[in-house]
Structure 1
Amino acid sequence: MPDTLPPALSMSSALRENIEALSAREREAHANAPFSHRIADKVTAFTGSMTFVVIHLVLFGFWILANTVGIPGVPKFDESLVVLAMEASVEAIFLSTFVLISQNRMAERQNRSADLDLHINLLAEHELTRVAMLLERIARKLDVTVDDLELAEIEADVEPEDVLDALEERQGD
């Protein structure tokens, strides 16, 4: 294949199928999410937008101007701005709750993705160990010299518990 093909065309069919399968799974998870989670995601998405910022700049700016400097034809309705502060505080409480709900869901997805990555990496490690053992047998049959120390290390399966124990021990230092 020439190097000028777009990335999508140069991908293997297996990779394209995996991408589609993962995308379909994500769409299904989103569609089957509880209604409350979908609302929290929509609220969080909107509050993280420039539209939300502009609306607040206009509303709060109007409120502050109307109650401090004054706007002709608009009576002062919150001269101490206490009502504005209370409204902003209540809004902040609800918005932070929505953001936390969305963040918890994202953390769950990231944990599932990390678990999948770990399983795939362990499977690849196991398969590479088997390939190394096969290559050693082929090399011996063809009388090719093999560095036994390095090969022994490569042929040893990695035990996930040993890796986790070593990481936990390291974190304790």
Structure 2
Amino acid sequence: MPEEQQLTGVVQKNIDALLEASERYEKHKTTTDRVADAITKWSGSMAFVYLHVVFFAVWIAANVTWFGLTQFDPFPFGMLTTIVSLEAIFLSTFVLVSQNRQAALSDRRADLDLHIDLLSEREITRILQVVDAMAKHLKVDLPPQEDLEELESDVSTEQILGELDRKHGQPAA
């Protein structure tokens, strides 16, 4: 088995920065956010499902007089239906609160990705320009590349977004 490689300083620094940003984000969550996350996490677990199966089975068994118990919610189980409906309303609200917050975090990450992509595009364009200038200065014969001039030109984010909007049939933002 090969020896485990150590991460480079830059990679480790990036990991640390991401973890620190995550921790800052977690620290700034409101109590409501924490409650919504906890409830969403619990309601998305198999333990939650099992608990409900047992609860429903006991409720129904108790109300169809299988065990000689006095009915407190006769068929069609109106009280159970009301309880389950209220639970569904609250659970869906908590899930939506969590999803909205996660969507905002996802948008923030997408903005960061786009920013890094744009920086990378600009850097690569500059590198191509420098390498092309060096090749010309050193009189290095390169095979003709039809797209080299295009690759060396700056990319206009506004033009790309406008073209994407046009192709999707949307008004320009």
When normalised by structure 1's length, the TM-score is 0.91
Which residue of 2 is the match for residue 157 of structure 1?
154
3-state SS of 2:135 partner:
helix
Identity over the aligned pairs, expressed in percent? 39
| Structure 1 residues 139 and 50: alpha-carbon distance in aligned structure 2, compared to 1, 3 A threshold | same
The answer to whether the Cα contact below 8 Å between 1:129 and 1:154 also exists between their aligned partners in 2 is yes
Deviates more, 1:90-99 or 1:142-151: 142-151
- The counterpart of 2:73, out of the listed 53, 62, 78, is 78
Which residue of 2 is the match for residue 130 of structure 1?
126
Which residue of 2 is the match for residue 140 of structure 1?
136
Count of residues in Structure 1 that have an aligned counterpart in Structure 2: 168
3-state SS of 2:147 partner:
helix
For structure 1, list consecutive stretches of 5 or more residues without a partner in the other structure: none
3-state SS of 2:59 partner:
helix
CA distance in 1, matches of 2:3, 2:21: 28
When normalised by structure 2's length, the TM-score is 0.91
| Deviation by residue 1:99-128 (Cα, 9 ceiling, x = unmatched) | 000010111011111110100000000000
Deviates more, 1:20-29 or 1:148-157: 148-157
CA distance in 2, matches of 1:148, 1:62: 75
3-state SS of 1:172 partner:
coil
Amino acid at match of 1:83: M
Deviates more, 1:52-61 or 1:145-154: 145-154
Alignment map for 1:78-117 (pairs within 5 Å): 78-80=73-75, 81-117=77-113
Which residue of 2 is the match for residue 13 of structure 1?
9
- Report the Cα offset of residue 11 of structure 1: 2.8
Matched, 1:57 2:53: yes
Amino acid at match of 1:42: A
CA distance in 2, matches of 1:155, 1:15: 28
CA distance in 1, matches of 2:12, 2:67: 60
The answer to whether the Cα contact below 8 Å between 1:70 and 1:76 also exists between their aligned partners in 2 is no
Higher helix proportion = 1
Deviates more, 1:142-151 or 1:28-37: 142-151
Backbone CA RMSD of aligned residues: 1.6
The answer to whether the Cα contact below 8 Å between 2:65 and 2:71 also exists between their aligned partners in 1 is no
Deviates more, 1:81-90 or 1:138-147: 138-147
For structure 2, list consecutive stretches of 5 or more residues without a partner in the other structure: none
- Report the Cα offset of residue 42 of structure 1: 0.5
Which residue of 2 is the match for residue 4 of structure 1?
2
The answer to whether the Cα contact below 8 Å between 1:68 and 1:79 also exists between their aligned partners in 2 is yes
The answer to whether the Cα contact below 8 Å between 1:126 and 1:157 also exists between their aligned partners in 2 is yes
